[in-house]
Amino acid sequence: MLEAVRFGISKQTLILVDGHALSIGKVKAHFTAGFIENTTAETKDIIKYTKFLARWFAKSGSEPSILAAWGLRP
């Protein structure tokens, strides 16, 4: 999942706020069917996990609840 977060940050679909919090970036992630069809298996996995994380973060609520789900404390 770390690769998915890094990918989202590199594409500016995720941003870091206050140096540590993730937030929605200005760019909406979009991959054409042709791109996905012609890319590597690793990139396909990264796209899949990025989509999963985006849905999960959108439904997870606050930063403390996300960290708690990962077994961490803020």
What is the DSSP annotation of 17-60? ETTTEEEE-SSPP---HHHHHTS-HHHHHHHHHHHHHHHHHHHH
| Cβ 50 vs Cβ 4: under 8 Å | yes
Quick: pLDDT tens for 18-74: 877 888 888 887 888 999 999 999 999 988 887 887 787 777 777 787 778 778 776
Show me where the domains of the chain are located.
2-69
Helix or strand run (H / E) with residue 35: helix 33-37
Beta strands in 1-74 (DSSP E): 14-17, 21-24
Return the SS3 of 19. coil
Predicted confidence at residue 29, as pLDDT, reads 73
How far apart are alpha carbons 40 and 53 in whole angstroms? 20
Quick: pLDDT tens for 9-18: 898 888 888 8
